């Protein structure tokens, strides 16, 4: 009999996803306790299960070795930086993964964060609540130059939305999408040139050895003092210490992060900056995205294949 474990708390408490999973499988273990797993508790939780729906939990060689009955890992969400794909391939484990299931949810959050920073909404709200009535001067998103670092599913969706604002859209990616770029008037641009030219820079990359620390102090310094930076992709891509120095020193207008190198974030000085917005990894936390990601994860329990570099997951690893 197939036994399925669900590690995700949000999947486990979602009545529709629970019902749809139970329609397909009789033996399912949900994370009803709302546990946050470390390696030891995760391996104990996986015992006796041959398939798992996982979210942000770390699945690596020691976990796979301690759960030899596991055959399929299905990803609830799109990021796979917490999964050792090479170890899965060595062991012949299959991965269920669908790209872009939360793209509109993340793209809309980026626009919300950009407008909030450009119009100084956090500061204005704080002042009103404290009794100060002052009309601060902001900037419109319309007609700004926006640089998208990483033009995968989310980057492409965001690019189309930004064109409706009349934005000039620059895109940097290691892959080329000439037909898409031509169809939507998007300018492929080198990373350094993008950082120097954009009014808004938004990051949409997976986290791997090639992207970790990509936006370091040198690259952050290429941006003008009027630029805002948004990261809704993965923590660790941007040097948070260098970012804090730039924000506090007035060398960057503002930043908004939905993801951090360590979650929850541990730098109170960064979080206290008035030109910094922090959200708790909610890019995919729209009702529509939760359903789309959950249903993709359910399908991935059957529609799965052994990871293959650059092929599965598509364009990653």
Q: Check: CB of residue 84 under 8 Å from CB of residue 291.
A: no
Query: Which pLDDT tens digit goes with each residue over 268-290?
Result: 999 999 999 999 999 998 999 99
Using CA atoms, how far apart are residues 21 and 13, in angstroms rounded to an integer? Answer: 12
Contacts of 290 by beta carbon, 8 Å cutoff, 6+ apart: 10, 14, 17, 284
Q: What is the pLDDT of residue 78?
A: 85
Counting every residue, how long is the chain? 317
Helices 153-163 and 103-118: crossing angle in degrees, nearest 10, is 50
Distance CA 309, CA 317 (A): 5
Domain with CATH 3.40.50.720 in the chain: 3-101+286-300, 103-278
Predicted confidence (pLDDT) per residue in 144-156, tens digit: 999 999 999 999 9
What's the whole-model pTM score?
A: 0.89
Residues serving a catalytic function are: 234, 263, 281
Per-residue pLDDT, 81: 86
Q: Is 103-278 CATH 3.40.50.720?
A: yes
Is 3-101+286-300 CATH 3.40.50.720?
Answer: yes
């Amino acid at each position: 009999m197939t036994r399925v474990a669900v590690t995700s708390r949000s999947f486990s408490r979602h009545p529709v996803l629970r019902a749809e999973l139970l329609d397909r499988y009789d033996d399912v273990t949900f994370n009803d306790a709302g546990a946050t797993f470390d390696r030891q508790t995760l391996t104990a939780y996986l015992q006796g299960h041959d398939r798992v729906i996982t979210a942000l939990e770390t699945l690596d060689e020691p976990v796979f070795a301690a759960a030899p009955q596991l055959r399929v890992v299905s990803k609830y969400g799109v990021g796979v930086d917490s999964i050792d794909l090479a170890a899965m391939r060595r062991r012949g484990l299959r991965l269920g993964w669908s790209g872009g299931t939360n793209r509109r949810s993340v793209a809309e959050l980026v626009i919300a964060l950009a407008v909030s920073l450009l119009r100084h909404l956090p500061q204005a709200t704080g002042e009103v609540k404290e009794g100060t009535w002052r009309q601060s001067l902001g900037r419109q998103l319309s007609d700004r130059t926006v640089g998208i670092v990483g033009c995968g599913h989310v980057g492409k969706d965001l690019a189309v939305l930004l064109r409706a604002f009349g934005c000039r859209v620059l895109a940097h990616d290691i892959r080329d999408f000439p037909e898409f770029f031509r169809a939507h008037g998007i300018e492929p641009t080198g990373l350094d040139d993008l950082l120097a030219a954009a009014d808004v820079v938004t990051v949409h990359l997976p986290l791997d050895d090639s992207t970790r620390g990509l936006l370091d102090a040198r690259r952050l310094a290429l941006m003008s003092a009027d630029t805002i930076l948004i990261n809704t992709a993965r923590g660790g891509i941007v040097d948070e210490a260098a970012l804090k120095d730039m924000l506090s020193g007035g060398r960057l207008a503002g930043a908004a992060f939905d993801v951090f190198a360590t979650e929850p974030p541990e730098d109170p000085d960064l979080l206290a900056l008035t030109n910094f917005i922090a959200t708790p990894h909610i890019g995919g936390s729209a009702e529509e995205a939760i359903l789309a990601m959950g249903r993709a994860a359910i399908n991935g329990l059957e529609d799965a294949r052994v990871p293959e570099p650059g092929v599965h997951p598509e364009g990653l690893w």
